[in-house]
Structure 1
Amino acid sequence: MSVTPTAAERIAQLRSELDAHNYRYYVLDEPSVPDVEYDRLFNELKALETEHPQLVTPESPTQRVGGSALSAFGEIRHEVPMLSLGNAFEEADLLDFDRRVREGLDLPSGDLFGGGAEVEYSCEPKLDGLAVSLLYRDGLLVRGATRGDGSTGEDISVNVRTIRNIPLKLQGSGWPRVLEVRGEVFISRAGFEALNARQLESGGKTFANPRNAAAGSLRQLDPKITASRPLQLCSYGIGQVQGELPDSHIGILQALKGWGLPISPELQLAKGVQECLAYYRAIGDKRDALPYEIDGVVFKVNNLAYQRELGFRAREPRWAIAHKFPALEELTELLDVEFQVGRTGAVTPVARLKPVKVAGVTVSNATLHNMDEVARLGLMIGDTVIIRRAGDVIPQVVQVVAERRPADARAVQIPESCPVCGSHVERTQLVKRSKGKESFSAGSIYRCVGRLACAAQLKQAIIHFVSRRAMDIEGLGEKSVEQLVDEGLVGSPADLYTLRFEQIVGLEGFAELSSNNLLAAIAASRKPSLARFIYALGIPDVGEETAKVLARALASLRRIEQALPEVLTYLPDVGLEVAYEIHSFFRDEHNRKVIAQLLERGIELQEEGEVHPEFAGCATLAGLLDKLNIAGIAVTGAKNLADKAGSLERVIELSQDWLELSVMKGLNEKGKQALREFFAEPANVEHARAIEAQLREFGMHWQSEKKAVEGLPLAGQTWVLTGSLEVMSRDIAKDKLESLGAKVAGSVSAKTSCVVAGPGAGSKLAKASELGVRVLDEAQFLAELERLG
């Protein structure tokens, strides 16, 4: 049937009117018509679209009911990571944050005569909901995603389209061609009560609190269920952008409001930290009267140029902080204390509680951290205790109500034997190393000595070994690992590489296809980078970044295995205690056996080579003498001694020549006596010589050939990676650039040498174009790497 112009025009007119009413209702909070009039217009549009289905468009106000149910959510990689925020719990934490901001911007700090420069901050309540990303292209909503792990989220596009205050098409004009909006999806207090009332009427399960209700509603595979829930969005920022935006955070939020996106009505600008504290107190006073639940206040540096200058830590921006409200607390009874065994053998007490609701969540377990915390609390089984729960933080016992202690209360006792394997449980010792001595004290951690003979440690070690950041073996979740260990098929990480199809296919959850997929994933993991392999081993205190430092600097497993603690401390961010942990790990006979088995069973480490040029010839004799921790010889004394002697052997000789030593200048009498006593011990002489020999072997000795970093092809250059890389991961690309001498930065500036832009590149690519920075696509980047060798 042909469409009359009148019908098409009326549909367009109705959509425009309904969009305007939605904007006034949800964004401005100034509805101009009663609900009955809105419903009349909506129903008229729906009837016209039913009569003329070819005129239905995705952005029509009628298209919010949800489509067909999904079988699963797809994954979406965030082009700009959705980082978490640091937390402030006390006023002093916020003052410290403001101090760090001003120092980072090199602003005057003030003195007795003035308070120094003040930074402007945006202030808004921290909603207790679920963070989402909304992507608009040419003003149309094309994608929605959850935050996920910050790098990768779930595709919830069909669900966010059902949320009434999310515009399917942006209002007004002037919005960027590509605009990623970030916000919090939440349910108001009234909406939560109405939802639970409907759940009770229909015989459904009620929700514990609005946040759980919002998160559960947004992640429904059936979008019709999501559409039936009273979800709302509050925009708080942006991600990737292609186009122009204001130069302040509040300016951007006001622009979003003008384009139809709701922002917090409580948004304010504060000049200086004292106004931030005043805002925090004011919002705290009206917290219970707000129509939605909040758990704190978010402060952000308002000036975007300042934000870029401050930059980011590993997982959070330096220019924003969440000032949390005091945690909610309840009284309950401690029924028992049980002990769990972790990956490193730590035996940790866990409180089993009489169930109690705290902040809308039923709590029956709480962390006790360690036995020192149990002693600090004076905790006994049977006590009445105060439980605190702050947001998503694990509930904890904060206080014992001593006057309610029953007569039959029992002391909490650390088990002598591991509750999992029966091995002995011993208390760790803390070693404090200072000039000339080591002192030992009891640590707060108790450990099972069973290592991988303990099923709990074995399971956790393998779960870590196969994780995405480690060996990245897909298909091995916690339950699968537990099965493999319980069935006796895996006794160490090395046993994963001997698994056969017939051993796997009979396990719960494994059919023919999933068994073959798992074996393929295990096979695909046989060529890890050295950094991944080191991280996967689970060395205590060695995280992902430290593993990268070890791999990049020493560039071979053999060197890392053999490295003495003093040699390891030449590497950036490796302190003496971590160095001893690394050294001890590789001296352990069982660990050496597992590593040998992994290599025998096909592990081929990638990216091994020579010691990084930055560390070739990096040591000095004075530095070595300082690292020997000889009492009374500090940095200056070590330098004077090195200048006088010229070699380690001459230092050893000089230490025993009392006549020559006594007239030496630049070393006090205490230092001379300490030097004499130190090298009078044959073990100390042997250890000093061993350190020097290893420095020579590694090419790090002061007499080794200097391989200046300046000689690397990309030395002094700053590169930026943006978008998705398809041939190699961004982590590998970063490692390759760093191995060529480049610094890899997270933002584009006039100092950027080159930008590598993969599919989906956003604001960084636009910034590079504005500044005239050289840009390579992935194919060009790979060609450049090949050219550079």
Structure 2
Amino acid sequence: MSTAKTSPETEAAVESVSTDTPPAGDLREEYQALAEQVRRYRFAYYNEDAPLVSDAEFDTLYRRLEEIEALHPELVTNDSPTQEVGGEVSAAFSPVEHLQRMYSLEDVFSLDELDAWVRKTEASVATISPGARIKWLTELKIDGLAVNLLYRNGELVRAATRGDGTTGEDITHNVLTIASIPRSLKGENLPAEMEIRGEVFIPSKDFERLNVTMVEAGKAPFANPRNAAAGSLRQKDPEVTARRPLSMYVHGIGAREGLDVASQSGTYELLKQWGLPTSPYYKVLDTYEEVLKYIADNGEHRHDLSHEIDGIVVKVDDFALQRALGNTSRVPRWSVAYKYPPEEVNTKLLDIRVNVGRTGRVTPYGIMEPVLVSGSTVEMATLHNQDVVKAKGVKIGDTVVLRKAGDVIPEIVGPVVALRDGSERDFVMPTHCPSCGTELKPAKEGDVDIRCPNAKSCPSQLRERVFHLAGRGAFDIEALGWEAAIALTSPAEPENPPLTSEAGLFDLKIEDLADVRIERPKRVKGVVDGTELVPYFYTKGTAKKPSVASANTRKLFDELEKAKSQPLWRVLVALSIRHVGPTAARALAGAFGSMDAIRAATEEQLAHVDGVGPTIAAALTEWFAEDWHREIVDAWAAAGVRMADERDESMPRTLEGLTVVVTGTLPNFSRDEAKEAILTRGGKASGSVSKKTDYVVAGENAGTKLDKAESLGVRVIDEDGFRTLLAEGSVPDGAGAEGAVPAAESASEEESVPEGEPA
């Protein structure tokens, strides 16, 4: 299920999970209320394609219902939601009886629960068929709509939704508009009658484009791809369905006549031969440990896939064992769905404000009611630019779907339109900088982003640049974080901040920071009671104990001293030159060797550097044309910051003329260390694989770059091969490929440094 606001009764029900068991009368009332809630939310999800609670909230309610029924089976009735499969059949479509029942899947929400299911299944198989070895067919759980296709003599005659498992809705005319579903199967000796089960979905990129067109047409955007797919299949006009970017993967088979296949995976291969779309992501695995690795790999890269998933399905591959294990009234005993921890929640969008980044880009971001997602409390989320706000169709006051995948910046996916009450209002992009009052405008005609042109004096831009230069990709000054950047550039006191330009960073004296104060919440007996001004870099001090520089402040000055000896490429990144991230900075440092040489180079000379090009060359030329920019470089150089790299003449240039791509995780090299090793030996460290690539170094979770290398015939080596390559400039055929481990997908590497999202 998917996406919406937490209602008061939901919160009460969720809270009840952890309370003591109430008296029988109260328990009966709770059970009846829970059952009614689950029915209402399920109907909204399956029949109206307009979810009212998030998946995680629904799952919590449903599991509480199961918990009560397990403890008090006398309360269970035939119409309990736990006794039903899916949703009801809509009166808007003709009912269709499936030839063989369509079951739901049992969900598990932790690896402990999955482990218990696997052990139970293994024990059952050991009893049923002593000595049998289970092979696990493991595949992605697509977040789409279950559909049943009926083929007679190879011709598609009917398509239906799952419905309640026995009876579904006839959606044949709409399914016929989906290009990936064949009307006629290929091959000979096709079964006289056969049901094919699968999932209809909208690919992630197509969903983004669909929502843009919806908003442009003045229509409400969809909350998520699953509901967009379901709503598209339930259109009364097939022409509307035909305009939606629907796809399908088939993953099962129901009734079959004259078909004799031994396994689920064997069926997949047969379905593929017949021309049916099968998922490229499934694997047949021999051990539970391999299943766990598959779950971990796809969990890490789930947002790099072509479509949304909410978990992993694990099936016993052998059909004979499936039949022997059988089914309950709702679910097969031979299959389970492991659901990843929820990354999407719903919360209230209280306001939309803008942040001014280090290069002046103005970025809208949402202020929300605090909500726990992916293990952390989130109050702000990026909205990128005014066009994205418009495309997502969000309004201030909306209940919104919020996503936070791992360490990625939280993102507002879209609004829950069904919960609007008319009080919501549109966001209006400001015309002047909220930090310095300068009129905002695009950097050049046609740019989507608008910027504050007051780069030198805008307090927000200075704060962001100071925070950026301390980052891991630049000077790597751990003690100079976000709050310290604020304290240095725009403290509450004194009126004149310690830094009015980053040029003065390395000239700071510890005593310059003694009077710097920032505003923090004032707590009285643990309760917030207004705000107070407190020293940031020094201790508070008392009559008996004078204020002194804090330990973190002393550490800051130690790290500033260390930062002076960082290599040239890090200094280039620290300057916040537009488009100059670590990749371009390394290329420039390698080509020119010193800041003076880069400053003296013509735009044409800069553009000819491999990995730089005309856009970055123009940005460099424009940056150095500004007097105050050159003052930063001169001030840093005068303070002792290293402005030239000492070339190690003893380092052999073994990789001269070679292009090497590093992907995945290497046990003994970080990504930066691997790149450094390539560059110092004269090679090109590329971020993408092409026909010009000489070697791909693949570690754990290598992903799509490894797949592309194999498809192009590029030589793939592991870490041992990489060491040989660094030492000798080549790797003998057949050597150095033992540790190249593919994964499902991998995010492409950033080629430039992102700026200015709300911290």
Normalising by structure 2, report the TM-score: 0.35
Structure holding more helix per residue: 1
Normalising by structure 1, report the TM-score: 0.34
Higher RCO (CA 8 Å, separation ≥ 6 residues): 2
